[in-house]
Structure 1
Amino acid sequence: MHTFNVAAKNTSLAWAAACRALDVPAHLSRDGFHTVVRIADAAAEDPLLRTHFDQMRDRHGYEPIETVANTLFPAKLAAACSSPEELVHRYREMYERLKRMDRQNRGGTYFGRIVAYPGESGAVDQLTLLITRIRRQASGKGPMSAAYEMDIAHPDDVVPGDSTWSTPVHVTGKDNGYRGFPCLSHCSFQLDRERTLHAVALYRSHYMVARAYGNYLGLGRMLAYLAQQAQVRPGSLTVVAGHAQIEDDVTAIRPIIQEQMQLPA
């Protein structure tokens, strides 16, 4: 089984390192299992790599990176809202329209699952719930570190004193497709003793060219927003993929990821 574990200071460097780890002569399928990408600041990018990757995506007909990132976190909409509650309200109002506008969103968007998770008694706003819990813990004398967990949490569960929060995305009994939405199964957030908020995201599958960069960026922006609203510091993002692959023709991205090797890490 081919795998990798890479770490970098921003999304651009992390994505390039992950692609290089998959693009090895001894592994022609260019995929890996149980891969781990650690990003110190996933909301940050390298402008040169981003520009070249944007140009390559446009030539080959991929969605813009911002389109992918917005499925995780609509940064411009958030900046225009005065509170998380307003952000949730406005996104819910447009959610059905978003699903109709793009066939890839017909099953929903990741951010839609976060702010309107299909709970037993209706849509659950996990975003505001998370911010409230984190802020409450951070304001205490000693917020607890992360607890052990399995992905059986429900967004309505409250465990007193526990400073690990999970955000379910995959819905048992509803998301039965072998492929497609949602590839992101679960997000978990940890608050350390320095009041820094970290995140880990679990993907069942990751397409490195079409989706990974935008996913890292969107998750990083959501982490930064959560930290800002909860009045703590944003920390690192760790992305675990059950299966990661460089799809299509790898030669399209080789000049980009090889160029990045010449830049300071």
Structure 2
Amino acid sequence: MDIFRANTKELVWMKAIRHLINTPHKEDLNILLELTDIYATDELSESIREWYSREIVNTRGIYPIETVADTIFPNKYYRPGNIQYMTDRYLEDYDNYLSTINSNKSGTYAERILRGKKANSEECYPLLKLVERLTEHRTNSNYNRLCYEVCIDYGDAISINRNDSLTMGFPCLSHLSFKIDAHNNTLNLTALYRSHYYVTKALGNLYGLCRLLAALCLESGWEAGNLVIHSTYAKFDPEGSTRKFCEKIKTMEDSNEFD
């Protein structure tokens, strides 16, 4: 298991990219990214982000960072202090037209975070419930600290125990686990990926997960702690990007920017 830590999204991502490029098949099992400051940015992170958008997104025809981030936390629907508005408006748009888009045929992460299924298949609203529980915990020290979980893969895509026929595709993000550190007054997030494409998706995923954690902290009054991503399978993709990443990594190494 390899663990990569940094205080900015771009640097922790590039550390993992450097590792994957140097593996025999540009893939690995059980990579952990630990982001120690979900808000941090600096000149290096901005330069990496700009380079990625210019040299990778624009030349490879892949989704921009914002588009990928919005699959997890669609910013345009968020009104601080009003998760109910986000839930109502996004789910209304999802039911009316977002669900008809071909890339959303199996669902979206945002839809599953906002609207889940109980064991009896009854609808529930995970993000609303998370805010309610997290807020209650702040005024009740005896409240259960281990009840802040969101299951993204609730069975209609790849779960063997549901006898599904699909073995690939959505969802790659399987589970979100939020943990309170009452000693430091922080809320921490661990995201579990069963499969993770690091060139086309991982940086945008970092942004989306950071926005989700930041929103929950704002709504419930906790400080933001660490974000950990556990990629049980990580892949450098697409292969045609290798040369540009190697050049960028060499430049960063020469400038001691990985230190």
The residue correspondences of 1:5-20 to structure 2 (distance < 5 A) are 5-20=3-18
The aligned counterpart of 1:139 is: 139
The aligned counterpart of 1:152 is: none
Q: CA deviation at 1:77?
A: 2.1
Secondary structure in structure 2 of the residue aligned to 1:172: coil
* Number of positions where the alignment pairs a residue of Structure 1 with one of Structure 2: 242
Could you tell me whether the CA contact under 8 Å between 1:6 and 1:38 is conserved in 2?
Answer: yes
Residues 99-134 of structure 1: CA deviation (Å, up to 9, x unaligned): 323x22211111110111133354311001001101
Q: CA deviation at 1:10?
A: 1.3
The aligned counterpart of 1:148 is: none
* Paired residue type of 1:127: L
The aligned counterpart of 2:100 is: 100
Say whether 1:233 aligns with 2:223. Answer: yes
Q: CA deviation at 1:28?
A: 2.4
Say whether 1:215 aligns with 2:205. Answer: yes
* Paired residue type of 1:209: V
TM-score, normalization by structure 1: 0.85
The aligned counterpart of 2:145 is: 162
Q: Which runs of 4+ in 1 moved over 4 A?
A: none
The aligned counterpart of 1:196 is: 186
TM-score, normalization by structure 2: 0.87
Could you tell me whether the CA contact under 8 Å between 1:164 and 1:191 is conserved in 2?
Answer: no
Aligned residue among 200, 205, 210 for 2:195: 205
Secondary structure in structure 2 of the residue aligned to 1:253: helix
Q: CA deviation at 1:173?
A: 4.9
Could you tell me whether the CA contact under 8 Å between 2:11 and 2:258 is conserved in 1?
Answer: no
Q: Percent same amino acid among aligned pairs?
A: 28
Could you tell me whether the CA contact under 8 Å between 1:98 and 1:105 is conserved in 2?
Answer: yes
Secondary structure in structure 2 of the residue aligned to 1:243: strand
Judging changes above 3 Å, is the alpha-carbon distance between structure 1 residues 264 and 243 closer, same or farther for their aligned structure 2 residues?
A: closer
Judging changes above 3 Å, is the alpha-carbon distance between structure 1 residues 174 and 78 closer, same or farther for their aligned structure 2 residues?
A: same
Which 10-residue stretch deviates more, 116-125 or 131-140? Answer: 116-125
The aligned counterpart of 1:65 is: 65
Judging changes above 3 Å, is the alpha-carbon distance between structure 1 residues 260 and 85 closer, same or farther for their aligned structure 2 residues?
A: farther
The residue correspondences of 1:250-265 to structure 2 (distance < 5 A) are 250-261=242-253, 262=255, 263=257
Judging changes above 3 Å, is the alpha-carbon distance between structure 1 residues 232 and 5 closer, same or farther for their aligned structure 2 residues?
A: same
Structure 2 residues without counterparts, runs of 5 or longer: 159-163
Structure 1 residues without counterparts, runs of 5 or longer: 144-159
The aligned counterpart of 1:28 is: 24
Could you tell me whether the CA contact under 8 Å between 1:138 and 1:195 is conserved in 2?
Answer: no
Say whether 1:185 aligns with 2:174. Answer: yes
RMSD: 1.9
Could you tell me whether the CA contact under 8 Å between 2:12 and 2:34 is conserved in 1?
Answer: yes
The aligned counterpart of 2:161 is: none
